[in-house]
Structure 1
């Protein structure tokens, strides 16, 4: 009688093959998971890097806007568009400034107005509820404004705060060579009100003037040389 064959699943080599297959499958799955985890980490890191690199740029732009502080020509409602306070207007051309108590455009609504020649400047104090208009210029809050102190020490058309832009003391006011008539005005504030004027004069020849700390000196068609 011949020997009967054992079923293949009872042979030793069958189980060796099964064990090898299980090991391969287990190892392969782990590698795939590791690969997926690595890819996920790389994607996350890339996203984080992008976010991090964008953030300084945004902060830099925001800082630039904040530090600039320039207010363009236009009409602004004080307390709504701009805060109440003191500002400096710089004329880029023939600049007109006007503060009004309402937006009616009526002559009687004007609180003060002035015309600035190209390159001149003017301090203004604005209160809540007023409407301030200026054309062909730029404006800054006083704490953000460029200096108005002339590099050549010759003060020309403009408005200067004594003790800040020009030291207190006595100065010779010289009529401009191209002017037949000049003007100076000393005020207690930058509100541009008649009652704040300390002294003023239409200048037809050179003269002298003494100014004190806290006052505002306005020059038109005249100069002060502090060299």
Structure 2
């Protein structure tokens, strides 16, 4: 038996083992079990997904090793060109992908990104005389324009989606399968303005923090956005898949799997649900089929399984104490609530590497608490504080005051205008941020010191931090 056949037998055996582990048992409602499509890495997973695509003679190649940037706009092209998306390396095409794209059936290959993303050396790995078309610009915004032009050349454009190129990656992945299905380009923006308008059906993807009302007004678009990536994802699914009962699920804070799933989700007219520990999975209620793509953890799979039966996800109480953590190995990517230990300031630091000389992405104090969002490959250091997967309290109907702490507006506290009173003899501090993302150097929107009275207005999705404030009273 050949090595390839041996690998195939191993894959089938692995699938059977996974189904056995998940317990394919009968329920009155919901799925029997959650299937998996998962290779040993992102390259093999993208090759495995292509087997669900059907016939195709065109392929799209993106490099997802360090960033999702170049692939953010590829989904619309996938629909227009009838092409699956394959993940490759900068300088080579991994074997599992090579045996798919180096086929006499493949006549055309799109390369998304410049040579800094996919080098000529990698393209030399295409050896069957395929037509090669490279689409790229100076940045991810310009690249999205080039992709949109190609979509227009192939099939014409009668619908467009606008997203934030740097703060809307999750929003882009939520609309990606719709973009592929409708052959509609995703135009990346700076979140504040676009240099053109189109008199066609258009949607702005993301809330007010990511995408300004100016873009909505200028393009006469419908906004599809919630407080966070999960709510936006749910809004999009309800809008474009109102009767869905079959779903793909992928990780919400590692979006590579969602990107390569979009073409197949288009073919099967099946939405992609972004999931995380304890995230809202109610959209899966009464699902008849759920497929988990990529390294979705067993616990998230079980939550999805239970959600299909109408079970509400329970909070996760695991507490991570002071120490150093590698995100993706010791802790999963995502948003965490940090709480200072009693009589401690609670220091945290997020780095690109594990040494003191590594780039510091974010640091500060967690007294009494704060939120941070960390990504795979980052290092998190905790001193005098604990971390839990971020949870949110239901908003009390009669809530009018809050004290020191960090709050997510619309989840922990209500939006509106607040009157702030400092503690006696203290100079108090407030700040408003647009995210808790450690790598977002522009997340701070406004802040101030005061020793008497201050007034602030906060909107849903913003983060409000209060220090030495005796009370903040909601007045509007």
CA distance 1:85–1:215, change in 2 (3 Å)? same
Counterpart residue number, 2:409:
162
CA distance 1:134–1:149, change in 2 (3 Å)? farther
Contact 1:148–1:160 under 8 Å retained in 2: no
Contact 2:428–2:450 under 8 Å retained in 1: yes
Question: 1:187: Cα distance to partner?
Answer: 0.6
Question: 1:149: Cα distance to partner?
Answer: 7.9
Contact 2:335–2:372 under 8 Å retained in 1: yes
Counterpart residue number, 1:81:
330
CA distance 1:203–1:149, change in 2 (3 Å)? farther
Matched residues in 1 for 2:394 and 2:430: separation? 17
Is it true that 1:132 corresponds to 2:383 in the alignment? no
Is it true that 1:202 corresponds to 2:434 in the alignment? no
Matched residues in 1 for 2:400 and 2:462: separation? 19
Matched residues in 2 for 1:178 and 1:137: separation? 27
Question: 1:127: Cα distance to partner?
Answer: 0.9
Contact 2:338–2:366 under 8 Å retained in 1: no
Matched residues in 1 for 2:474 and 2:400: separation? 5
Is it true that 1:111 corresponds to 2:357 in the alignment? no
Contact 2:432–2:462 under 8 Å retained in 1: yes
Deviations 1:120-173 (A, max 9, x none): 110000011110011122111014x7x4989x9642222100001110000101
Work out which of the residue numbers 431, 453, 466 in structure 2 matches 1:185. 431
Counterpart residue number, 1:225:
473
Matched residues in 2 for 1:187 and 1:201: separation? 12
Question: 1:226: Cα distance to partner?
Answer: 4.9
Contact 2:325–2:379 under 8 Å retained in 1: yes
Matched residues in 1 for 2:351 and 2:322: separation? 16
User: Which stretch has the larger CA shift, 126-135 or 188-197?
Assistant: 188-197
CA distance 1:213–1:67, change in 2 (3 Å)? closer
Matched residues in 1 for 2:394 and 2:386: separation? 14
* Residues matched between the structures, number: 156
Matched residues in 1 for 2:354 and 2:472: separation? 38
Contact 2:421–2:472 under 8 Å retained in 1: yes
Counterpart residue number, 2:33:
none
Question: Which one has the bigger strand percentage?
Answer: 1
Question: 1:194: Cα distance to partner?
Answer: 4.0
Deviations 1:34-67 (A, max 9, x none): xxxxxxxxxxxxxxxxxxxxxxxxxxxxxxxx95
Matched residues in 2 for 1:226 and 1:187: separation? 19
Is it true that 1:102 corresponds to 2:353 in the alignment? yes
Deviating beyond 4 angstroms after TM superposition, the runs of 4 or more aligned structure 1 residues are 147-150
Gaps of 5+ in 2: 1-314
Counterpart residue number, 1:53:
none
TM-score (norm 1): 0.62
Is it true that 1:90 corresponds to 2:339 in the alignment? yes
Counterpart residue number, 1:175:
422
Question: 1:102: Cα distance to partner?
Answer: 0.4
Gaps of 5+ in 1: 1-65
SS at match of 1:214: coil
Q: CA RMSD in A?
A: 2.6
CA distance 1:215–1:67, change in 2 (3 Å)? closer
Matched residues in 2 for 1:160 and 1:209: separation? 14
Work out which of the residue numbers 454, 458, 462 in structure 2 matches 1:215. 462
